[in-house]
């Protein structure tokens, strides 16, 4: 529902509108950690609802939750583990891409590491699908490379 936030007496919260039309509030200090949001605030002013075309209502609350903890200095290893515990690989990917779009560096780096940890023992084919990339090797090239790097496949039970 589109709604202009009224000129708020407190300049401390910013209104963000997702690509699917929902509005979320975030503290200005948390918004500062997301450089894309900060740039939009600088351009449009902080009393206007900031439109985020490429972030959606499924992930924005999670991102806001992360930065709420960040501004109070409460991000711990335990919090981060809990944060991603119930997310599947695809959900983390969506969050990762949103963090990239928002230029939210700390979250981006944390999620990069989490994805790396998840992908470590995955199969080559799984990783291709995950990154949405095409296999541009010819069958001969690929089998030659696999042979050269056979040692890196040893002891790995490539799981899906």
Residues that bind other proteins (CB under 8 A): 19-20, 35-36, 54, 56, 58, 90, 93-94, 96-97, 100-101, 103, 105, 108-109, 112-113, 115-116, 119-121, 124, 127-128, 130-137, 142, 145-146, 148-149, 151-153, 156
Nearer CB in complex with other proteins: 13/56: 56
Provide the minimum distance between the beta carbon of 95 and other proteins in the complex, in angstroms, as a whole number.
Answer: 11
Provide the minimum distance between the beta carbon of 105 and other proteins in the complex, in angstroms, as a whole number.
Answer: 8
Nearer CB in complex with other proteins: 62/93: 93
Provide the minimum distance between the beta carbon of 70 and other proteins in the complex, in angstroms, as a whole number.
Answer: 18
Provide the minimum distance between the beta carbon of 47 and other proteins in the complex, in angstroms, as a whole number.
Answer: 22
- Residue 144's region, left for phi above 0, alpha for psi from -120 to 50, else beta, is alpha
Question: Any bridge partners for residue 13, and if so which?
Answer: 27
Nearer CB in complex with other proteins: 48/101: 101
Nearer CB in complex with other proteins: 13/100: 100
- How many angstroms separate the CA atoms of 138 and 154, rounded? 23
- List, in order, residues 6 or more apart from 72 with CB less than 8 Å away: none
Using alpha carbons only, give the angle 14, 16, 20 rounded to the nearest 5 degrees. Answer: 170
Provide the minimum distance between the beta carbon of 113 and other proteins in the complex, in angstroms, as a whole number.
Answer: 5
């Amino acid at each position: 529902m589109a709604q202009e936030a009224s000129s708020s007496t407190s300049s401390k919260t910013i209104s963000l509108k997702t690509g699917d039309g929902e509005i979320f509030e975030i503290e200005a200090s948390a918004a500062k950690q997301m450089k894309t949001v900060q740039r939009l605030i600088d351009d449009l002013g902080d009393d206007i609802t900031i439109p985020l075309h490429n972030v959606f209502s499924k992930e924005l609350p999670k991102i806001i939750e992360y930065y709420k903890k960040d501004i109070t200095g409460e991000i711990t290893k335990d919090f981060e583990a809990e944060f991603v515990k119930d997310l599947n690989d695809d959900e983390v990917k969506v969050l990762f891409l949103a963090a990239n779009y928002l230029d939210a560096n700390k979250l981006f780096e944390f999620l990069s590491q989490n994805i790396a940890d998840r992908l470590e023992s995955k199969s080559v084919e799984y990783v291709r699908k995950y990154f949405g990339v095409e296999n541009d090797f010819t069958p001969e090239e690929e089998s030659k490379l696999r042979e050269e790097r056979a040692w890196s496949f040893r002891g790995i039970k490539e799981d899906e």
